[in-house]
Structure 1
Amino acid sequence: MSENQQDSVVGAGFALKKTVVMVGMMGAGKTAVGRALALRLGVPFLDSDAEIEAAANMTVPEIFERDGEPFFRAKETQVISRLLDEERGILSTGGGAFLARENRANITAHGVSVWLNADLDLLWQRVRHKDTRPLLRTANPRATLAEIYAARVPLYAMADVSVVSLPDLSIDEMVDRVVATLLTQRPDVLEKTDA
C-alpha cells in the first residue's frame, strides 16, 4: 500500500483523506446528508449523538433532563475527540457541538468542518413537529429557535466549508453540493479516483 493510500479511505471512486464533520443547526440535515454522503463516498458514517446515547443508554433529551447541558457538552467533546482519532469517515455532530472552542480546534486539526447552512424558516419547517429537541421545549419554540440561530450562526460561519441548504433540494442533491464543494475547495480532504 502506498503512503498516500494509507492516509486515505478509498471507496466509490473517491479518496477521503480527512474526516468530514457535518455542523449546523438542528434540522439542517447533518445526519440525513451525512449518512447519504458516507454511502456515496463508501466510507463509515459516525454520529456523535448516537454514540453518546449508546454509552449512556439514554436519549439526548433524557441526558439533558437528568444531568444538564454542561454534562452533556463535556461528554460530547470526549466522544468527538475519540471519533476523530479512531476512524476516518463522515461525522455528524449535534447542533451545539461546534460552539465549543475545543471542538472547533479539534475538528480543524483532525478533519474538515462542513456547515449545512439552512435559513431559519427552513429549519423551523423541519423541527416544529418534533419533540426530540430538548432546547426547544419552551413556551415559544419558534422564538427560541430564532434566538439559538442568531447566537450560533457567527460560530457556524467559522466552519472550513459552507454549503447552502435550500428547501427544494433532496438529500441526494445536497450530497452533490457537498461533494462538489469539497472537490473544488478542499482537494486536501477529498479527491476523485479512477476506481
Structure 2
Amino acid sequence: MGSGKTMIGEALAKKLNKSFADIDKIIEEKENMPITEIFKKEGEAAFRAKEKMEIADYLTGPSAGNAVVSVGGGAFLQEEVRHICMKNATVIFLHISWTAWLERLDMLVETRPVLHGKTISEIQTLYDDRQTVYDQHHYRVTVDGLDPEEASDKIISTLRTKPI
C-alpha cells in the first residue's frame, strides 16, 4: 500500500511493451464507484471478494502473461490470492521502508479506507504486520527515493540478473 505500484507498474509495462492492469481501477470501473465507496456501501469483505475474482480472472484468463498487473496491498493478505499470484505470475514486492512510507501518509489516508480513523501507532502495526505476508514473493525491490522510471529500471535489472 502506497509503494507506487500503479505509477511504477505503468512505467514497467511501457518498458516491457506489455499492457498494464490496476485491479483497483478495474473494480472501480466495473462498480462505477471509488474503492472508498465500495468499502462504505458494501464493506471490506465484499470488496475483497470482488478483488479476488478480478485477480483470478486476470492471471488465469486470456490476458495472462501479457500484462503487468498491480494488485492492492490488502489483496495479497488473502491466502488464496497469494497462491493464485505466486502460481500464475512473477510477484515483485515493491518494498518501501516505514520512514519513506510515513512521508507519503498524508496523501495515502484519504484514498485508503483501511487507514481511516487509525492512529500512527495502529498504522505502523498494520505496516509491520503486512511485511511478513509480503515476504512471499519472487522478487523484492526496494523503491525508497526512486521515481517510477528508476524503480522500473531497477525491476528490469533485477529480473535480468536473478532469474526465477
TM-score category of the 2 structures, normalised to the smaller one? over 0.9
Q: Computing the radius of gyration over CA atoms, which structure comes out larger, 1 or 2?
A: 1
Deviation at 1:139, TM superposition (A): 4.7
Mapped partners of 1:139, 1:33: distance in 2:
27
The 3 A distance-change label for structure 1 pair 41 and 102 is same
Could you tell me which residue of structure 1 aligns to residue 100 of structure 2? 122
Q: Contact conserved, 1:124 with 1:145, CA < 8 A, in 2?
A: no
Please name the residue that 2:19 is paired with: 44
**Quick one: which of 145, 153, 158 aligns to 1:176?**
153
Instruction: Give the SS at the match of 1:78.
Output: helix
Matches within 5 A, 1:33-112: 33-84=8-59, 85-87=61-63, 88-112=66-90
Which of 16, 23, 30 pairs up with 2:5? 30
Amino acid at match of 1:47: D
Q: What is the root-mean-square deviation in Å for CA atoms of aligned residues?
A: 1.3
* Shift in Å, 1:49: 0.3
Between the aligned residues of both structures, percent identity stands at: 34
Structure ranking higher in helix proportion: 2
Does 1:132 pair with 2:108?
no
C-alpha deviation, 1:127, in angstroms? 3.0
Any gaps of 5 or more consecutive residues in structure 1? 1-25, 189-195
Q: Which structure 1 residue ranges, 4+ long, deviate > 6 Å from structure 2? A: none
Query: 1:117-165 CA deviation, whole Å, 9 max, x = no partner?
Result: 101121121231341111111152x323212111110010111110011
Q: Distance in 2 between matches of 1:54 and 1:170?
A: 27
Take 1:90 and 1:98, find their aligned partners in 2: how far apart are those partners? 16
Q: TM-score, normalised by structure 2?
A: 0.92
Q: Structure 1, residues 166-192: CA drift from partner, whole Å, max 9, x if none? A: 22x221111111001111222x6xxxx
1:164 aligns with 2:142: yes
Give the partner amino acid of 1:109. K
* Distance in 1 separating the partners of 2:75 and 2:2: 14
Aligned residues between the structures: 160
